[in-house]
Amino acid sequence: MGEFDLIARYFHRPTPRAVLGVGDDCALLAPRPGTQLAISSDMLVEGRHFFPDADPASLGHKALAVNLSDLAACGATPLAFTLALSLPQADEAWLAPFARSLLALADEHGCELVGGDTTQGPLNICITVFGEVPVVNGRSTALLRSGAQAGNDLYVSGTLGDARLALEVLRGQLDMPAALFAAAQARMDRPSPRVALGRALRGIATAAIDLSDGLLGDLGHILKASRVGATVHTDIATTLIALQAEDAWASAFIDQKMQLQCVLAGGDDYELAFTAPAALRDAVAAAALSAATPVTRIGHIDATRGLRLVDGAGDSLPNTYTSFDHFA
Protein backbone atom coordinates (compact mmCIF):
# COMPACT_ATOMS: atom_id res chain seq x y z
CA MET A 1 0.00 0.00 0.00
CA GLY A 2 1.51 3.34 -1.09
CA GLU A 3 1.16 6.73 0.56
CA PHE A 4 -1.79 7.85 -1.56
CA ASP A 5 -3.63 4.53 -1.27
CA LEU A 6 -3.19 4.75 2.48
CA ILE A 7 -4.64 8.27 2.60
CA ALA A 8 -7.50 7.34 0.27
CA ARG A 9 -8.37 4.21 2.23
CA TYR A 10 -8.19 5.51 5.79
CA PHE A 11 -8.30 9.27 5.83
CA HIS A 12 -10.26 10.51 2.83
CA ARG A 13 -13.78 11.08 4.13
CA PRO A 14 -16.70 13.23 2.98
CA THR A 15 -16.52 16.73 4.49
CA PRO A 16 -19.97 18.28 4.02
CA ARG A 17 -19.24 21.28 6.27
CA ALA A 18 -15.82 22.20 4.92
CA VAL A 19 -15.66 23.93 1.54
CA LEU A 20 -12.84 21.57 0.50
CA GLY A 21 -11.38 18.56 2.30
CA VAL A 22 -8.61 16.03 1.56
CA GLY A 23 -7.14 15.90 -1.95
CA ASP A 24 -5.91 19.34 -2.88
CA ASP A 25 -2.94 21.37 -1.68
CA CYS A 26 -5.02 23.15 0.94
CA ALA A 27 -8.32 22.47 2.63
CA LEU A 28 -10.80 25.35 2.68
CA LEU A 29 -12.95 26.26 5.68
CA ALA A 30 -15.55 29.00 5.75
CA PRO A 31 -16.01 30.28 9.31
CA ARG A 32 -19.50 31.64 9.75
CA PRO A 33 -19.92 35.43 9.88
CA GLY A 34 -19.66 36.68 13.46
CA THR A 35 -17.28 33.93 14.55
CA GLN A 36 -13.55 33.55 15.15
CA LEU A 37 -11.43 30.48 14.42
CA ALA A 38 -9.91 28.79 17.50
CA ILE A 39 -6.83 26.73 16.53
CA SER A 40 -4.73 24.29 18.55
CA SER A 41 -2.13 21.55 17.89
CA ASP A 42 -1.05 18.62 20.02
CA MET A 43 1.46 15.92 19.27
CA LEU A 44 1.68 12.34 20.59
CA VAL A 45 5.16 10.84 20.41
CA GLU A 46 5.98 7.18 20.93
CA GLY A 47 8.06 6.57 24.04
CA ARG A 48 7.13 9.99 25.35
CA HIS A 49 3.32 9.99 25.51
CA PHE A 50 2.62 6.30 25.00
CA PHE A 51 4.29 2.91 25.17
CA PRO A 52 5.52 1.38 21.86
CA ASP A 53 2.92 -1.42 22.08
CA ALA A 54 -0.01 0.98 22.78
CA ASP A 55 -3.39 -0.06 21.42
CA PRO A 56 -3.92 1.78 18.08
CA ALA A 57 -7.64 2.31 18.76
CA SER A 58 -6.83 4.08 22.03
CA LEU A 59 -4.19 6.19 20.29
CA GLY A 60 -6.62 7.26 17.57
CA HIS A 61 -9.12 8.34 20.19
CA LYS A 62 -6.62 10.05 22.46
CA ALA A 63 -4.77 11.93 19.71
CA LEU A 64 -7.97 13.75 18.77
CA ALA A 65 -9.40 13.90 22.31
CA VAL A 66 -6.46 15.91 23.67
CA ASN A 67 -6.91 18.43 20.85
CA LEU A 68 -10.69 18.68 21.33
CA SER A 69 -9.94 19.27 25.01
CA ASP A 70 -8.07 22.46 24.05
CA LEU A 71 -11.10 23.64 22.08
CA ALA A 72 -13.27 22.79 25.10
CA ALA A 73 -11.07 24.94 27.34
CA CYS A 74 -11.67 27.90 25.01
CA GLY A 75 -15.40 27.27 24.76
CA ALA A 76 -15.00 26.61 21.03
CA THR A 77 -17.23 24.43 18.88
CA PRO A 78 -15.18 21.90 16.86
CA LEU A 79 -15.22 22.31 13.06
CA ALA A 80 -12.33 20.44 11.46
CA PHE A 81 -8.88 18.95 12.01
CA THR A 82 -5.74 17.96 10.15
CA LEU A 83 -3.65 14.87 10.85
CA ALA A 84 0.12 14.74 10.37
CA LEU A 85 1.22 11.15 10.77
CA SER A 86 4.65 9.61 10.78
CA LEU A 87 4.52 5.79 10.67
CA PRO A 88 7.25 3.12 10.66
CA GLN A 89 5.28 1.12 8.06
CA ALA A 90 1.88 1.07 6.36
CA ASP A 91 0.54 -1.63 8.69
CA GLU A 92 -3.18 -2.21 8.08
CA ALA A 93 -3.61 -4.01 11.41
CA TRP A 94 -2.53 -0.74 13.05
CA LEU A 95 -4.11 1.75 10.66
CA ALA A 96 -7.63 0.29 10.57
CA PRO A 97 -8.37 0.48 14.34
CA PHE A 98 -6.47 3.77 14.63
CA ALA A 99 -8.54 5.43 11.89
CA ARG A 100 -11.81 3.86 13.07
CA SER A 101 -11.64 5.22 16.61
CA LEU A 102 -10.17 8.55 15.52
CA LEU A 103 -13.01 9.11 13.06
CA ALA A 104 -15.65 7.84 15.51
CA LEU A 105 -14.67 10.55 18.01
CA ALA A 106 -14.51 13.08 15.17
CA ASP A 107 -18.06 12.18 14.11
CA GLU A 108 -19.29 12.41 17.69
CA HIS A 109 -18.13 16.04 17.76
CA GLY A 110 -18.95 16.96 14.15
CA CYS A 111 -15.23 17.60 13.53
CA GLU A 112 -14.18 16.86 9.94
CA LEU A 113 -10.78 15.50 8.87
CA VAL A 114 -9.87 17.97 6.11
CA GLY A 115 -6.20 17.25 5.43
CA GLY A 116 -2.82 16.29 6.77
CA ASP A 117 0.51 14.80 5.89
CA THR A 118 1.77 11.21 5.88
CA THR A 119 5.41 10.17 6.04
CA GLN A 120 7.49 7.15 6.97
CA GLY A 121 9.37 7.46 10.26
CA PRO A 122 9.07 6.84 14.01
CA LEU A 123 5.45 6.78 15.18
CA ASN A 124 4.33 10.35 15.78
CA ILE A 125 0.79 11.70 15.61
CA CYS A 126 0.22 15.43 15.30
CA ILE A 127 -3.27 16.89 15.06
CA THR A 128 -4.34 20.49 14.55
CA VAL A 129 -7.96 21.30 15.37
CA PHE A 130 -10.04 24.23 14.20
CA GLY A 131 -13.05 25.43 16.16
CA GLU A 132 -15.42 28.34 16.16
CA VAL A 133 -16.29 30.91 18.84
CA PRO A 134 -18.92 33.62 18.46
CA VAL A 135 -18.02 37.29 18.59
CA VAL A 136 -20.71 39.19 20.51
CA ASN A 137 -20.88 42.99 20.42
CA GLY A 138 -17.44 43.06 18.86
CA ARG A 139 -15.93 40.89 21.62
CA SER A 140 -14.72 37.34 21.46
CA THR A 141 -16.59 34.93 23.72
CA ALA A 142 -13.57 32.58 23.89
CA LEU A 143 -12.66 31.47 27.41
CA LEU A 144 -9.09 32.49 28.19
CA ARG A 145 -6.60 31.81 30.97
CA SER A 146 -6.31 35.49 31.78
CA GLY A 147 -9.75 36.43 33.09
CA ALA A 148 -9.81 35.08 36.67
CA GLN A 149 -10.66 37.69 39.31
CA ALA A 150 -10.22 37.79 43.08
CA GLY A 151 -13.34 36.43 44.75
CA ASN A 152 -14.21 34.10 41.84
CA ASP A 153 -15.09 30.51 42.63
CA LEU A 154 -12.72 27.82 41.32
CA TYR A 155 -14.17 24.65 39.81
CA VAL A 156 -13.07 21.42 38.15
CA SER A 157 -15.17 19.12 35.98
CA GLY A 158 -15.55 15.36 36.33
CA THR A 159 -13.02 13.39 38.36
CA LEU A 160 -9.28 13.96 38.68
CA GLY A 161 -6.36 11.60 39.17
CA ASP A 162 -7.77 8.48 37.53
CA ALA A 163 -5.27 8.37 34.66
CA ARG A 164 -2.40 8.76 37.11
CA LEU A 165 -3.82 5.96 39.24
CA ALA A 166 -3.79 3.66 36.20
CA LEU A 167 -0.23 4.72 35.42
CA GLU A 168 0.89 3.88 38.98
CA VAL A 169 -0.64 0.40 38.62
CA LEU A 170 1.16 -0.08 35.26
CA ARG A 171 4.40 1.07 36.91
CA GLY A 172 3.89 -1.55 39.65
CA GLN A 173 3.54 1.08 42.40
CA LEU A 174 -0.03 0.19 43.28
CA ASP A 175 -2.35 -2.79 43.18
CA MET A 176 -6.03 -2.39 42.32
CA PRO A 177 -9.04 -4.66 41.86
CA ALA A 178 -9.51 -5.38 38.12
CA ALA A 179 -12.78 -3.48 37.71
CA LEU A 180 -11.41 -0.30 39.26
CA PHE A 181 -8.21 -0.57 37.24
CA ALA A 182 -10.27 -0.97 34.05
CA ALA A 183 -12.19 2.22 34.87
CA ALA A 184 -8.99 4.12 35.64
CA GLN A 185 -7.30 2.83 32.49
CA ALA A 186 -10.29 3.87 30.39
CA ARG A 187 -9.81 7.39 31.72
CA MET A 188 -6.15 7.26 30.72
CA ASP A 189 -6.69 5.76 27.25
CA ARG A 190 -10.03 7.31 26.28
CA PRO A 191 -10.41 10.74 27.83
CA SER A 192 -13.73 12.51 27.17
CA PRO A 193 -13.05 16.07 26.02
CA ARG A 194 -15.44 18.42 27.87
CA VAL A 195 -16.54 20.24 24.72
CA ALA A 196 -20.20 20.64 25.74
CA LEU A 197 -19.23 22.06 29.13
CA GLY A 198 -16.77 24.54 27.62
CA ARG A 199 -19.42 25.85 25.25
CA ALA A 200 -22.01 26.07 28.02
CA LEU A 201 -19.59 28.13 30.14
CA ARG A 202 -19.18 30.89 27.54
CA GLY A 203 -20.38 34.12 29.13
CA ILE A 204 -20.26 32.52 32.63
CA ALA A 205 -16.67 31.41 33.30
CA THR A 206 -14.09 34.18 33.64
CA ALA A 207 -11.12 31.86 32.87
CA ALA A 208 -10.63 28.21 31.89
CA ILE A 209 -7.92 25.68 31.10
CA ASP A 210 -7.91 21.98 30.31
CA LEU A 211 -5.99 19.74 32.68
CA SER A 212 -3.27 17.85 30.86
CA ASP A 213 -0.26 18.21 33.16
CA GLY A 214 -1.98 18.07 36.56
CA LEU A 215 -4.38 20.38 38.41
CA LEU A 216 -1.91 22.48 40.38
CA GLY A 217 0.47 23.03 37.48
CA ASP A 218 -2.27 23.90 35.02
CA LEU A 219 -4.07 26.08 37.55
CA GLY A 220 -0.76 27.91 37.93
CA HIS A 221 -1.10 28.99 34.27
CA ILE A 222 -4.46 30.63 35.02
CA LEU A 223 -3.04 32.36 38.11
CA LYS A 224 -0.04 33.68 36.21
CA ALA A 225 -2.03 34.88 33.20
CA SER A 226 -4.66 36.47 35.45
CA ARG A 227 -2.13 37.89 37.98
CA VAL A 228 -4.02 36.45 40.94
CA GLY A 229 -3.64 33.68 43.55
CA ALA A 230 -5.88 30.83 44.69
CA THR A 231 -6.86 28.71 47.65
CA VAL A 232 -7.58 25.03 46.90
CA HIS A 233 -9.37 22.73 49.35
CA THR A 234 -7.55 19.42 49.11
CA ASP A 235 -10.47 17.42 50.50
CA ILE A 236 -11.63 17.44 46.87
CA ALA A 237 -9.39 14.37 46.67
CA THR A 238 -12.64 12.43 46.77
CA THR A 239 -13.05 13.24 43.06
CA LEU A 240 -11.01 10.12 42.15
CA ILE A 241 -13.38 7.61 40.53
CA ALA A 242 -11.83 4.88 42.63
CA LEU A 243 -12.84 6.76 45.76
CA GLN A 244 -16.42 6.83 44.59
CA ALA A 245 -16.51 3.06 44.24
CA GLU A 246 -19.17 1.57 46.45
CA ASP A 247 -16.98 -0.88 48.29
CA ALA A 248 -14.87 1.98 49.63
CA TRP A 249 -11.90 -0.10 48.58
CA ALA A 250 -9.89 2.88 47.52
CA SER A 251 -9.91 4.89 50.72
CA ALA A 252 -8.69 1.76 52.50
CA PHE A 253 -5.87 0.94 50.08
CA ILE A 254 -4.66 4.13 48.42
CA ASP A 255 -2.86 6.12 51.05
CA GLN A 256 -3.62 9.80 51.48
CA LYS A 257 -0.33 10.85 49.95
CA MET A 258 -0.96 8.87 46.76
CA GLN A 259 -4.54 10.19 46.56
CA LEU A 260 -3.38 13.78 46.75
CA GLN A 261 -0.53 13.18 44.31
CA CYS A 262 -2.96 11.70 41.75
CA VAL A 263 -5.65 14.35 42.16
CA LEU A 264 -3.49 17.46 42.54
CA ALA A 265 -0.67 16.62 40.15
CA GLY A 266 -1.73 13.47 38.29
CA GLY A 267 -1.78 14.64 34.69
CA ASP A 268 -3.71 13.31 31.69
CA ASP A 269 -7.09 14.20 33.22
CA TYR A 270 -8.47 16.25 30.31
CA GLU A 271 -11.01 17.83 32.61
CA LEU A 272 -11.59 21.58 32.73
CA ALA A 273 -10.57 23.90 35.57
CA PHE A 274 -12.41 27.21 35.46
CA THR A 275 -13.31 30.26 37.48
CA ALA A 276 -16.64 32.07 37.72
CA PRO A 277 -18.15 34.87 39.81
CA ALA A 278 -19.76 33.60 43.03
CA ALA A 279 -22.95 35.39 41.93
CA LEU A 280 -23.19 32.96 38.98
CA ARG A 281 -23.28 29.67 40.93
CA ASP A 282 -26.74 28.86 39.64
CA ALA A 283 -25.63 29.57 36.06
CA VAL A 284 -22.60 27.28 36.50
CA ALA A 285 -24.85 24.53 37.86
CA ALA A 286 -27.22 24.97 34.90
CA ALA A 287 -24.29 24.83 32.43
CA ALA A 288 -23.01 21.63 34.05
CA LEU A 289 -26.47 20.11 33.88
CA SER A 290 -26.98 21.08 30.24
CA ALA A 291 -23.58 19.54 29.38
CA ALA A 292 -24.31 16.44 31.51
CA THR A 293 -20.89 16.98 33.11
CA PRO A 294 -20.58 17.24 36.88
CA VAL A 295 -18.52 20.11 38.28
CA THR A 296 -17.08 20.56 41.79
CA ARG A 297 -16.22 23.84 43.50
CA ILE A 298 -12.74 23.27 44.93
CA GLY A 299 -11.67 26.72 46.08
CA HIS A 300 -11.52 30.37 45.16
CA ILE A 301 -9.35 33.04 43.58
CA ASP A 302 -7.42 35.43 45.85
CA ALA A 303 -5.98 38.86 45.13
CA THR A 304 -2.76 37.72 46.87
CA ARG A 305 -0.53 35.88 44.37
CA GLY A 306 0.48 32.27 45.03
CA LEU A 307 -1.30 28.95 45.46
CA ARG A 308 -2.49 27.94 48.95
CA LEU A 309 -3.61 24.42 49.86
CA VAL A 310 -5.92 23.82 52.80
CA ASP A 311 -7.24 20.53 54.16
CA GLY A 312 -10.79 19.69 55.21
CA ALA A 313 -10.24 21.31 58.62
CA GLY A 314 -9.04 24.54 56.99
CA ASP A 315 -5.39 23.98 57.99
CA SER A 316 -2.78 24.86 55.39
CA LEU A 317 -0.73 22.12 53.70
CA PRO A 318 2.69 22.41 52.08
CA ASN A 319 2.55 22.43 48.27
CA THR A 320 5.22 19.91 47.30
CA TYR A 321 3.47 18.69 44.15
CA THR A 322 5.12 19.07 40.81
CA SER A 323 3.29 18.80 37.52
CA PHE A 324 4.59 17.36 34.31
CA ASP A 325 7.18 19.29 32.31
CA HIS A 326 8.87 17.68 29.27
CA PHE A 327 12.14 19.53 29.81
CA ALA A 328 12.24 19.66 33.62
Comparing CB distances to ligand ADP, the nearer of 94 and 321 is 94
Residue 83 CB, shortest distance to ligand ADP, in Å, is 4
Residues contacting 232, CB < 8 A, separation 6+: 154, 215, 216, 219, 264, 298, 299, 307, 308, 309, 310
Given the complex with ligand ADP, which of 12 and 190 has the nearer CB atom? 12
Q: Are 150 and 303 in contact (CB under 8 A)?
A: yes
If one asks whether residue 22 binds ligand ADP (CB under 6 A), the answer comes out as: yes
Distances in whole angstroms, Cα of residue 242 to Cα of each of 78, 163, 172, 248, 267: 31, 11, 17, 8, 16
Nearer to ligand ADP, 85 or 197 (CB): 85
> Which of 2, 14, 16, 25 touches ligand ADP by CB under 6 A?
25
How many CB atoms lie under 10 A from the CB of residue 150? Answer: 14
Query: One-letter amino acid identity for 134?
Result: P
**Cβ neighbours of 288 (radius 10 Å):** 20
Label residue 259 exposed, middle or buried (CB < 10 Å: 0-12, 13-18, 19+). buried
Q: With contacts defined by CB under 6 A, how many residues of the chain interact with ligand ADP?
A: 13
Contact between residue 276 and residue 155 where contact means Cβ atoms under 8 Å apart: yes
**Any contact of residue 3 with Mg ion (CB under 5 A)?**
no
State the nearest-atom distance from the C-beta of 25 to ligand ADP, in Å: 5
State in angstroms the smallest separation of the CB of 320 from Mg ion.
46
Least CB distance to ligand ADP at residue 264 (A): 37
Among 59, 65, 71, 83, binds ligand ADP (CB under 6 A): 83
Nearest alpha-carbon partner for 145 in 301, 309, 328: 301
List, as one string, the DSSP characters of 2-20: -HHHHIIIII----SSSSB
Using CB under 6 A as the binding rule, the residues of this chain from 105 to 134 that contact ligand ADP are 113, 115-118
Please tell me the count of residues contacting Mg ion according to CB under 5 A: 1
Determine phi and psi for 55, rounding to 5 degrees: -65, 120
149 binds, among Mg ion, ligand ADP, none (CB under 5 to 8 A by kind): none
Contact partner, 274, from ligand ADP, Mg ion, none, Cβ < 5-8 Å per class: none
Binding site partner of 23, from Mg ion, ligand ADP, none, Cβ cut-off 5-8 A by kind: ligand ADP
Contact 166, 288 (CB under 8 A): no
Quick one: 117 or 255, whose CB is closer to Mg ion? 117
Compare residues 115 and 217 and give the one whose CB is closer to ligand ADP: 115
Q: For residues 86 and 75, what is the distance between their CA atoms, to the nearest angstrom? A: 30
Site for Mg ion in 107-126 (CB under 5 A): 117
Interacting positions 138-197 with Mg ion (CB under 5 A): none
Closest CA to 64 of 23, 25, 112, 132: 112
Treating both helix axes as pointing N-terminal to C-terminal, what angle do 178-189 and 56-74 enclose, rounded to 10 degrees? 60
- In angstroms, give the least distance from the CB of 55 to ligand ADP: 19
Nearest residue (CB) to Mg ion, 26 versus 93 = 26
Q: Does 94 bind ligand ADP (CB under 6 A)?
A: no
Applying CB under 6 A, which residues contact ligand ADP? 7, 11, 22-25, 83, 85, 113, 115-118
Applying CB under 5 A, which residues contact Mg ion? 117
